[in-house]
A = this chain, B = another copy of it.
Amino acid sequence: MNIEKIKMDLILNDDVDSPIDGVQEANTSHTLIDALFNSNTATLRNRVDDSCRKFFTSTDASTDLHIDDIRSKFMQFDAPAQGKSAEAYIDLLDSEVLPHCSHLASPRYLGHMTSPIPQFLPEIGRLVQTLNQNVVKMETSRGMAFLERQVIGMLHREIFRADRQFYEENLQATSSALGIFTSGGTLANICALWTALRLADTAQASESTKALSPDERPVIIGSELMHYSFDKGAQLLGAQLHKVPVNNLFQIDLDALNDAVEKYRQAGRKIVCLVAIAGTTDYGSIDAIAKICDIGKKIGAHVHVDAAWGGGLILSESNRHLLDGIAQADTVTIDGHKQLMLPLGCGMLFFRDPALSQLTMHHAPYAVRATSFDQGRFTLEGTRPATALYLHAALHIIGKNGYDDIFSKSMQRARYMAQTIETRPEFELIAAPVMNILTYRYIPEKYRNKKIDDLDNIQINRFNISLQKWQRQKGDSFVSRTFRAIGQYNNQGLTLLRAVLLNPLTTNDDIDFLLNDQLHIARLLESRIRDTPASHS
């Protein structure tokens, strides 16, 4: 392939909507290949730039088009026979797709654990996709596979703090891994459970011939706030998932945990894994990791820390104390695409002892060979992109100090929002932020300054669902909602508004805007309810 032969702008300067020439006739198909592989993409790039800029400069959280109207725009189900130019395609995206996406880059979108990513990363993404390295095996990645092990090692060291000799021996060892990349925290958690089960050599997980009755199923214990990936994993692996209540700080209740452990041990059941959460999805609360590790050690159970949300703090000198005890865990999940602001798809699982990585090894004869460096031996997934390069780039460009600064600002914003909520009689703060998540709810006027009973809460729940839906539909700002049993209300299930203060572009003004938006909507809602009381009684 000779770069001199590039057919400039073959796709790009086509007339809009005209198909690529020569798609159907074999004798001109070289034109198609040239257009796809050897063309100058400058025009397309500028078009994509424009689309990205439009998206990045929206301050509203979404359009106000109703979801059913958006849905009606995606009803075509015939795959196109003829191709069109890349420019015509971007026209299609600009008019029919991009306006209907969520404006995650908006500083007033505080709803979920997904924010805009630093702008250098999509450029690195272009490189990742052009290189197209498949890190499942050395023959399709070479240096990139070593780079992947290297960045896994860097985070392993921040988490587990082993000595230099440990990393000199294990960083690039052939026989085991310090951790693996996964497509996300769900798979990382499932792989952790798989590892724990293999370690315990139970029949479901080990293909051994020992029969297990249901009362012999291995047991996994964590708090009721465990991510739903644990339900999936337990179901896949044939394990029993036991959920323990949380205390008023939304951490696992240690007395209840000890009781559960004792109960299963007396029944002769095998507890294969204790789960500690470092950053619950609902509240950002962090379990007492060190104490859970102590219990795990005492009973010989694997301890897994689900730090999908909070794990990034390990890079932050000012905040890493929140994760105290994590160095004693056996496995740790971190999502790079959460606090570390990498593109989606950068889950990671770390093994304190790299020998744990050998418990789930698999090989294949055409590659992923047992005696190779192939990283695919250690992963549940097979073919995988080099997402490690995003982490590598972020560690080098942002650095630990940069992350420290970003996290500290993010925590400050959460505290500001919590303080503002507490000054307003219209709101009730339910969970003050330990990290950068907080939950609260709106209290309609008639329920203020009185003791709220169960029936009141049912009405208040309805009100907050309506409020969140209206705000979402209006599209000027956004928080999510959750539904959880709350201790201070006798474990009644409450609908909570949930703000995730991840977006570094959010200012205190944006927070004020969002709360005022809610107050405005709530007052309208209250007046409607007064007008039509029957519909809400």
Contact = CB atoms under 8 A, between A and B. Distances in A.
19 contacts: A1-B505, A33-B409, A36-B119, A36-B398, A41-B119, A80-B396, A80-B399, A83-B396, A83-B397, A86-B123, A89-B393, A111-B139, A112-B137, A114-B132, A205-B235, A211-B214, A236-B237, A237-B238, A343-B385
B142 A67 contact: yes
Given A11-B120, A364-B281, A366-B281, A67 B36 contact: no
A383 B185 contact: yes
Given A212-B211, A505-B1, A122 B130 contact: yes
Interface in A118-133: 118-133
Q: Report, as a range, how many residues of chain A touch the other chain.
A: 35 or more
B399 A67 contact: no
B171 A344 contact: no
Nearest to A19: B399
Contact of A154 (B78, B150, B185): B78
Given A119-B36, A150-B76, A383-B335, A81 B400 contact: yes
A479 to B, nearest CB: 10
A29 B366 contact: no
Contacts of A114: 132, 134, 140, 383
Contacts of A137: 112
A131 B67 contact: no
B32 A405 contact: yes
A384 B236 contact: no
A519 interface: no
Interface stretch (A93-101, A292-300, A440-448, A449-457): A93-101
A370 to B, nearest CB: 11
B132 A83 contact: no
Nearest to A231: B362
Contacts of A335: 383
B184 A80 contact: no
A399 B83 contact: yes
Contacts of A115: 132
With a 10 A CB-CB cut-off, give which of A125, A182, A190 has the most chain B CB atoms.
A125
Contacts of A190: 380
A214 B209 contact: yes
A41 B366 contact: no
B74 A149 contact: yes
B405 A29 contact: yes
A70 interface: yes
Contact of A381 (B92, B122, B150, B186): B186
B83 A398 contact: yes
A52 B131 CA distance: 7
A131 B98 contact: yes
Contacts of A472: 139
Contact of A385 (B71, B234, B345, B384): B345
A525 interface: no
A139 B98 contact: no
Contacts of A19: 399
A354 interface: no
A530 interface: no
A175 interface: no
Given A130-B55, A214-B210, A37 B116 contact: yes
With a 10 A CB-CB cut-off, give which of A11, A37, A395, A406 has the most chain B CB atoms.
A37
A313 to B, nearest CB: 13
A220 B36 CA distance: 41
